[in-house]
Structure 1
């Protein structure tokens, strides 16, 4: 069997399906689900999201120049999908999905309390690319849920059971296949060079807390009944909020 050629399109899957919270200058807040999002720079920390100009949330980001990227989990799969297929013009998504607004530390836009990680962002540039406009933004603050911190002040995102979006469906991430640098670790250890030591699992630990507060034990352990690696929620063929 050979390769079959498709017309050019976005087939870069899986991708994170994130809930982006926004607000206008009057403080009216909304949530939009975005799959076109990505990391672009470490220092300064920067990311992008791409949104169609006709979306209800678009003008809010244009007005304030701020938004919050809220990471999603298996438990939030239904809310994530809902916030992508319903418009804030017609309904209050916060109330519909039982999501809680929480004051951010650096931006005027509220966080979603139920999400394990919230990335507070300020827009640096807007590129009007075509069907989507891309917002390049600097991450000015990161908020994490303390229940995923362990006794060493290390944050374990895997314990929150994050999910991904791939070709119209939501998935749990499945089992860990290795940690960063594991492919060369044994060779380096045999040489005794000390190089190649594996770093913390990518996406699993984001460093230690600055305030020194210890969290309870058990963070990072697998919860019973996890359905990782399987589709979460009802499969979608590409809802308006997260498709091209």
Structure 2
């Protein structure tokens, strides 16, 4: 039997990402776990309004979303420990300039360059609603058909209630297969 545990946000784990943007013409990075899908070509990035990087995102209307894998986790976690107000994080990662001059992380296996379409403020957080203008993927995460291979990507996941990083698991099935099998089992 289920019991009420309160109004707990229970949609974790989520992928850990490092957001990149320019503030006063200089690249900065911050670790974020509050990202979400809004539509097939839109995402949301939620940052507390006190974050240093927010100024640059609002000024430039652009940001990058860089998937964190285990190799880059120590640097990514560091981005969440120090503030851009006090620490220059511009050289923390090797980076290149993506679409529209947006900084992307070389060592991230997958980076998306995004244009801010809207900002929704809620409870001290600025939620950037973004369209994806370009996606950059390392060869190691692209399959023979030119598609992303999430078995190779292996993003680090973040679980907020315990502040833990998790590994992705194995494939348990293909979308719609279980539903079709269930449908056949109940067919009269």
Determine if the TM-score, normalized by the shorter chain, exceeds 0.5. yes
1:44-193 maps to which residues of 2 (within 5 A)? Answer: 45-96=41-92, 99-104=93-98, 106-166=99-159, 167=161, 168-186=163-181
8 Å Cα contact 2:27-2:89 kept in structure 1: no
* Residue 185 of structure 1: how far off its partner (Å): 4.9
Any idea what the Cα deviations from partners look like across 1:118-154, whole Å, max 9, x if unmatched? Answer: 1110111111112201111111111111222233323
1:10 paired with 2:9, answer: yes
Higher radius of gyration, 1 or 2: 1
* Residue 95 of structure 1: how far off its partner (Å): 3.3
- Counterpart CA distance in 2 for 1:132 and 1:185 is 41
- Counterpart CA distance in 1 for 2:57 and 2:151 is 30
Question: CA 1:14 to 1:103, structure 2 compared with 1: closer, same or farther past 3 Å?
Answer: same
Which runs of no fewer than 5 residues in structure 2 stay unpaired? none
Any idea what the Cα deviations from partners look like across 1:62-83, whole Å, max 9, x if unmatched? Answer: 1101001111112222222111
* Residue 187 of structure 1: how far off its partner (Å): 7.1
- Output the TM-score relative to the length of structure 2: 0.87
* Residue 174 of structure 1: how far off its partner (Å): 1.5
- Counterpart CA distance in 2 for 1:181 and 1:62 is 40
Task: Tell me the matched-pair count.
Answer: 183
Relative to total residues, which structure has the larger strand share, 1 or 2? 2
- Output the TM-score relative to the length of structure 1: 0.68
Any idea what the Cα deviations from partners look like across 1:143-189, whole Å, max 9, x if unmatched? Answer: 11122223332331321321110131000012111122221455789
8 Å Cα contact 1:107-1:121 kept in structure 2: no
8 Å Cα contact 1:116-1:157 kept in structure 2: no
CA RMSD of aligned residues (A): 2.2
**Superposition misfits of 4+ residues, deviation over 4 angstroms:** 185-189
